Structure 1
């Protein structure tokens, strides 16, 4: 009986972990360099940078996630707002010194 209870708890825990890991699977461009990754708590945050332009990165996310619910900014900075797997996602892009900094936050 203890073994059965242990197996049920283990399966529930694994199922929860798989679901929470899927939330952090926001697509990343191929050359994305991660500088910070906080995936164990909400809000989940991933930051990094690319040499691509803001327009190219925004186009990548439009192809992968569809049209954003809302967009703010210009060619120096831009923020894209999405709903992904029932979570609010904010993707912030900031162009500086030949690189574009990318911040992804999942609430």
Structure 2
């Protein structure tokens, strides 16, 4: 089995989750090998300034559009992964789990 993980931010407001990801997890979008070579947290903080909200909006599935979340998981499946672990960035964990249980997973199961 080959697994991977995907990070998302489920919310009914598109702008709020982009802001949440940009604030809490900008290092996910550091270019090149920066995330592997930076020696200290201070360096990560400095490099995170390279990540824009637009980059987050383009790269991370944010919001409550079910089909976007479904497609994000399906892209990993098409790439050959057997397991995809989806993690919510930020708060609202219960809302995320409920939405995936009731809305996203049933579509993926078809």
- When normalised by structure 1's length, the TM-score is 0.27
* Higher-helix-fraction structure: 2
- When normalised by structure 2's length, the TM-score is 0.26
Higher Cα Rg: structure 1 or 2?
Answer: 1
